[in-house]
Copies of this chain bind each other. A is one copy, B any other.
Amino acid sequence: MGTTTQPDAVPEPKYWHLKTVLSDALDSEFEVGEILPNERDLAARFGVARATLRQALEQLELEGRLQRRRGVGTTVAPPRFGVDVGAGVHVWPGAPDDAWQTGECEETVPPRAVAALLDAAADGDEVHSVRRTRMTHGQPVATELLYVPRSSVPGLPAETLEEPSGGSARGRAVLRELWRLELQGQERTVELGSARADDARQLDRLPGAPVLVVTTRYVAQGTTVAVGVSTYRADTCRLTFADRMPEPQAAAAESTPSERERAHGGRHRTGARLSRR
């Protein structure tokens, strides 16, 4: 019972089939930013329960194809934008308005996992910490917590800590400006996580939203002098890492910033099958 009408080999889940149908429709019949019919209508139109429809929508949202907001509706999300995370050169076109916003410095006890990475801090020790937020395309895409054990920066006047550079800067630049740390290198890990309540609020997402957690270990003099934990919105970001990339000649200029090709194909025609009414 479907449109493909296979013999009946493996009964594909309804929501899975629904997802592919919607996905195709998204490509062919909708514009970015366009608003879909509401869930109750869609469910009725496909002859499924709302829960089933929602299962498909959830998948699509996870893939960054949709954006849902309570009280508003479900809209077609723009393609993910590349967010440079590596230490190397910018290669993928970065957003023109990509900027970090640095908060105030505090004294906190870092999470256990962070403490384990810091050579100079025992479990339970308080360390300096700064919260930062990364804005791109007019929206927050990441929050970061930077942890610097006191012993990494002994005898630093509190003044310096209260007055950060105030503007955009890469993590290592902040470490230099705030604490005059000169780094030798860094090491990063990326993993999937779900947003904690505080991070979710800053990212304008609901708690539990999928995020990419980037843990950076800053190294100087052979020891880990700082650790940064960045939380990126997984639905809108594609992290890019470049290590000693020679500037590509032609390929780099192939398209303008924001509107990059999507992960697995993506065109934007127009039509009117699923459109309103």
Contacts and interface: CB of A to CB of B under 8 A. Distances in A.
A189 B112 contact: no
B112 A16 contact: no
B192 A234 contact: yes
A86 B243 contact: yes
Contacts of A187: 91-92, 240-243, 245
A77 interface: no
B237 A191 contact: yes
A48 interface: no
Contact of A82 (B189, B239, B262, B266): B189
Count class of interface residues, chain A? 35 or more
A245 B261 contact: no
A67 B271 CA distance: 42
Interface of A: 16, 19, 59, 62-64, 80, 82, 86-88, 91-92, 111-113, 116-117, 119, 184-194, 207-208, 210, 212-213, 215, 219, 222-224, 234-235, 237-246, 248-251, 254, 261-266
Given A87-B243, A112-B264, A210-B210, 6 more contacts: A86-B241, A86-B243, A185-B243, A192-B234, A193-B263, A223-B249
